[in-house]
Amino acid sequence: MALRPILVAPDPRLKAKCLPVAKVDGEVARLMDDLLDTMYAAPGIGLAAPQVGASVRVLVIDIAKDGEERQPLRIANPEFVWLSDEDRSYEEGCLSVPEHYAEVTRPAALRLRYLDHQNEIRELDAEGLLATVIQHEMDHLDGVLFIDHLSNLKRNMILRKLTKARAR
Ligand code: NI
């Protein structure tokens, strides 16, 4: 268990396309636990491995509200089995794009196949917030941030502000 520093855009490591893990071994399971610790501390509801500088297809999610029991999802090598035709818009944020939020439209429901922390194949049906978070985190594995779904104008404005904030 350890907290890892979260990279902030425009860090080039956030743009990398991540590789699948060969299997979920002890090292990958530890990465999942570190991601969860880092996410809970931030706090956030999802975190992908490239956000802590690990270019592998691993992510964690927990959308439980404050005071609810934790419901951590540990996910490796995720793939969409199905995405709904129906879309949903949600105001998204990201721990790598601090203090900026914007509406993003994505499929409203999906079925996911992935490896869990014990290297077991699992399938998960998701809709609503969970479907949004899964797609947001999976984007990270391909070097895509939620701001990449916005207009160039809006994205560049946010990136300029982040760069300026870091220089301070
Ligand atoms: Ni994010």
Ligand 1 centroid to residue 35 C-alpha, Å: 12
Superfamily of domain 12-167: Peptide deformylase (3.90.45.10)
For 122, list phi and psi in degrees, rounded to 5.
Answer: -130, 155
Judge if pTM exceeds 0.85: yes
Contact 58, 75 (CB under 8 A): yes
Ligand 1 centroid to residue 86 C-alpha, Å: 22
Angstrom CA distances, 52 to 44, 72, 166, stand at: 14, 18, 17
Q: Report the alpha-carbon distance of residue 68 to residue 102 in Å, rounded.
A: 26
Side chain identity, residue 67? G
Low-confidence ranges of the chain (pLDDT < 50): none
Ligand 1 centroid to residue 27 C-alpha, Å: 23
Upstream peptide bond of 10 is cis (omega within 30 degrees of 0) = yes
**Catalytic residue numbers?**
137
Closest by CA to 140, choosing from 88, 75, 90, is 75
Q: Report the alpha-carbon distance of residue 80 to residue 152 in Å, rounded.
A: 27
Please report, for the chain, the start and end positions of each structural domain, with discontinuous segments joined by +.
Answer: 12-167
Q: Report the alpha-carbon distance of residue 49 to residue 14 in Å, rounded.
A: 10
